[in-house]
Amino acid sequence: VGHARRRTTCSPSASASGAIHLIVGPMFAGKSSKLLEEAARLGTLQGAEVLYLKSSKDKRYSETHIATHAGVQVPCFAVSHLMRDVSSEGRQDDAGSASEQARRRYVSSGIVAIDEAQFFGEDLVEFCTRAADDDAKTVVVAGLDGDFLRGKFGHVLDMVPLADSVVKLHASCAVCGGRAVFSKKIDGDLGRQE
């Protein structure tokens, strides 16, 4: 993966530099709620527009919104590849396409909020690094850090050394009520990570 981090938090122009904030934890830990809360807070603080993105694989509550388990929904762009579908590097699609709309919104946004990050490929790291380092955007990323076998899930953990902050949330165990640090798969194919 090997992306060099060019941002510094102690530079004289720190206000003009980007940042990456990572929110991780198991299912039902409140990651999407924390993402929406943090993106809105930063948008207000910076007076910046927020671009909301999620993986197109996430169709649990809505295909067009980031949705929390508590029922809060925020319109977003559901994309399969961050670099291809959102990055503004030279690609142009039909003016009305979702990808072209997402790219235009990316250019005008100072905050980028990404939900269900575990479903993105290696381009998660490249996209977030470029957004923060090259485009001076604040990126807030939420996703599962591990799977039901307590193994790495996607490329979310690759973001840790690049992040300006990392928040690990916990769920409540459905069995004992204690703090849950990983998800349990209760149905479906146990051979599949997703």
Q: Is residue 116 flagged as an active site residue?
A: yes
Structure tokens at 99: 């990808």
- Nearest-CA neighbor of 33 among 48, 23, 45? 23
37 neighbors 45 (Cβ within 8 angstroms): no
Name the active-site residue from 37, 49, 116, 194.
Answer: 116
- Residues with catalytic roles: 116
